[in-house]
Amino acid sequence: MKVTIKDIARDTGLSTATISKYLNAKPINAVTKKKIEESIKKLNYIPNQTAQMLRSQKTKIIYLILSDLDNYFWGGIISTITDFFEEYDFTVITTSFHHNEQEEKELIKDIIYQKASGVILLPCTNQDVTYIALQNANIPVVIIDNYPKKIAEHPVDYVTSNNYDSGRKLAEYAIQNGHENISIMDYFCDSSPIMDRVKGIRDVYAENKLPDPILHRITDLPTYQNIMLEKNERFNRKSSTKQQVTLIIFTNYVSAVSGLIELQSYSTDLYEKFSFLVYDDEPLFLSLARPMTVMKQNLKEMGLHAAQILLKRINKDYKDYPEKIMIKSQFIERKSVCAVEK
């Protein structure tokens, strides 16, 4: 005979309403939750997910949408979010729109049609407002990393790193080591995190009455080859300035990896000429002649907070809406910065 929630209720001494709350991922206390889970295991109860979906008119599917699935950097976020929702019997589908605006719009339409329970979105740019379509369809959405410029006009929950403060920390460290003339290597200027990091760096240099860092911006998403050419041209121009740059700050790991490869091919004594700071960490950075001093983001914590917020919204809990969480990054000192002799 098939086991039902009435059997679980009789076994635990709880009401069917409480059992239903648990099965629909509604908040219940830890003791009650444990009692229900033990009973489910003992009685070998298998939830009727189809019936649950029909009652709620929502699937138990969470979409994690990234701008680029080829970027392994987001692996920590993907695994954290997937593991979190598996505990609540949700299926997480990770997908991408490959930096294509039209493809993103079509993807959002499909998700709305499929009646997803919720979405965690990493937008391609800070101009991205596709999340509004999800909100209009009553699908909860949480933004990670690249929060939108129009957030005051169209509020949304978001989780990112403390990019401005981290930028300040990198700048202060550079100045402590005597680097008054620096260059900032950017990758994508339509990025709220990168612009916050750059602002933090520039503010510290302005406060210390030091020259404004030479800022290199790439206004669109170039191919790998174009990045190489861009770095080479700017390296030549930078090297010929009257005030010699002594330190380069890379605003993310992509620009750091590509930039270091290009600069190493240009100069055999790269680490004698320049010091380096990088926002983001990468295993490669430990294997360099001088391991990189970095500001490391806590991507797993970012993913966990995003998942926790989304679950609250799925359960109709909006009392703290919209949440704006900034995760503290970790400064890791290695050997890529040398003190400037005066």
Q: What pLDDT digit, counting tens, does each position of 77-114 carry?
A: 999 999 999 888 899 999 888 777 888 888 888 898 88
Partners of residue 142 on adjacent β-strands: 120, 157
Partners of residue 250 on adjacent β-strands: 185, 278
Arithmetic mean of pLDDT, 203-208:
97
- pLDDT the model gives residue 239: 47
For 115, residues 6+ apart whose C-beta sits below 8 A from its C-beta are 57, 58, 59, 139
For 61, residues 6+ apart whose C-beta sits below 8 A from its C-beta are 90, 91, 92, 93, 114, 116, 117
Name the 3-class secondary structure at 143: strand
Provide the mean pLDDT of the chain: 83
Q: Which residue has the higher pLDDT, 292 or 33?
A: 292
| Token output for 87 | 């505990």
Residue 64 pLDDT exceeds 90: yes
Residue 219 pLDDT exceeds 50: no
Name the 3-class secondary structure at 214: strand
Tens of pLDDT, residues 148-178: 888 888 999 999 999 999 999 999 999 999 9
Arithmetic mean of pLDDT, 116-125:
90
Tens of pLDDT, residues 300-328: 999 999 999 999 999 999 999 999 999 99
pLDDT above 70: percentage of residues in the chain: 84
Distance CA 131, CA 154 (A): 9
Tens of pLDDT, residues 168-205: 999 999 999 999 999 898 756 678 999 999 999 999 99
Amino acid at 167: G
Tens of pLDDT, residues 101-110: 888 888 888 8
**How many CB atoms are located within 10 Å of the residue 232 CB?**
14
pTM, two decimal places: 0.76
Q: pLDDT-derived band of residue 73, with 50, 70 and 90 as boundaries?
A: confident
